[in-house]
Amino acid sequence: MTSRLLTTLTLAFLFAPAVAAPPLVIAHRGASGYLPEHTLEAKALAHGMAADFLEQDVVLSKDNVPVVLHDIQIDAVTNAAARFPDRHRPDGRWYALDFTISELQQLSVTERRDPKTNRPAFPNRFPAGVGAFRIPTLDEELAFIAGLNHSTGRHTGIYVEIKQPAWHRKQGRDLSRAVLPILTKHGYQSKQDPCWLQCFEPDEVRRLRSDLAYQGRLVQLTGTSPAEAASLLSPDGLRSLASFADAIGPAIPSIISGSSPDDRKITSLVHDAHAAGLAVHPYTIRADSLPPTVRSLDDLHSLLFIDAKVDGLFTDFPDRTSAWLTSHPSPSN
């Protein structure tokens, strides 16, 4: 596993083109299939599982500190409603932007649940109410990963997402401007550094490259709407994206279409993206929530890595994705 990891990083980042092999294992919110998402404990476990990259979704606190959370709201993964019962907005939700970093770090992080019903999103994952997890800042997490890299001799990379920058701007905040100095502080500045920076909003990805002059690797995340597929993910759209981005992050249904294993089809998306010079890192492998188009986790890995020839993927279970790659050592792109 160590040799595969080192080979991956060498080929993917040191003087390599955008589309590279072998495929990357990207720990989605850390080893979130086993521990509460985006906690340092989940990142440590994913690091120990030899994931190539660890993901950080980033939003802002009230005092403009980038924190690692998947949502701008905090009530689905913390005890904010119990700890600060009167701090919700008119929509009944609690927002990270309304809390200082000191207040956010008083909260307990739990496994994701529906804030209306309090039911867990994934019932068989880490039990609610067990452990003492908290929200990390981006600065803390990058220092933590650097420490793990130092103590283990590994070179695990980071994969940062700018979450809802347009929403933040409507609140009078500039999330990207707050994040970039932290990346620079930790040595993530160029395409040779083990960092990918991603966002769903094309205008923000363009802005990162042009107005903010970010020189590292950029990823355009995409959803599943037909309108988006007709624009961003068309051959012309992909060529346009390649003028400022290095990769795309599509949802798995954009690559494996259909409603069942009997009518599934590998779309042309990966081929078209590669033709435009873009790497492809789809999301998300969940062993406990497989797409209706696959028969098993092994089937899904095979479809993505061998049939579609993706360059890496996001997984809640980095150990299982790494194990598949180890037993199928050379899916060629």
Cβ atoms within 10 Å of 147's Cβ, excluding its own: 11
CATH topology of domain 2-73+135-327: TIM Barrel (3.20.20)
More confident residue, 14 or 289: 289
For residue 129, pLDDT over 60 is answered with: yes
For residue 333, pLDDT over 60 is answered with: no
Supply the residues annotated as catalytic.
28, 70
When computed from its CA atoms, the radius of gyration of the chain, rounded to whole angstroms, is: 19
230: which 2 tokens? 């007709």
Rounded (5°) CA angle 318-322-325: 145
9: which 2 tokens? 């990083």
| Residue whose C-alpha is closest to residue 32's, from 221, 289, 214, 246 | 289
Q: Are 3 and 10 in contact (CB under 8 A)?
A: no
3-state DSSP assignment of residue 229: helix
3-state DSSP assignment of residue 129: coil
For residue 331, pLDDT over 60 is answered with: no
Q: Tens digits of per-residue pLDDT, 234-281? A: 999 999 999 999 999 999 999 999 999 999 999 999 999 999 999 999
Domain boundaries, the chain: 2-73+135-327
Strand partners, 199: 220
Q: Tens digits of per-residue pLDDT, 22-43? A: 899 999 999 999 999 999 999 9
Q: Tens digits of per-residue pLDDT, 139-159? A: 999 999 999 999 999 999 999
For residue 233, pLDDT over 60 is answered with: yes
For residue 314, pLDDT over 50 is answered with: yes
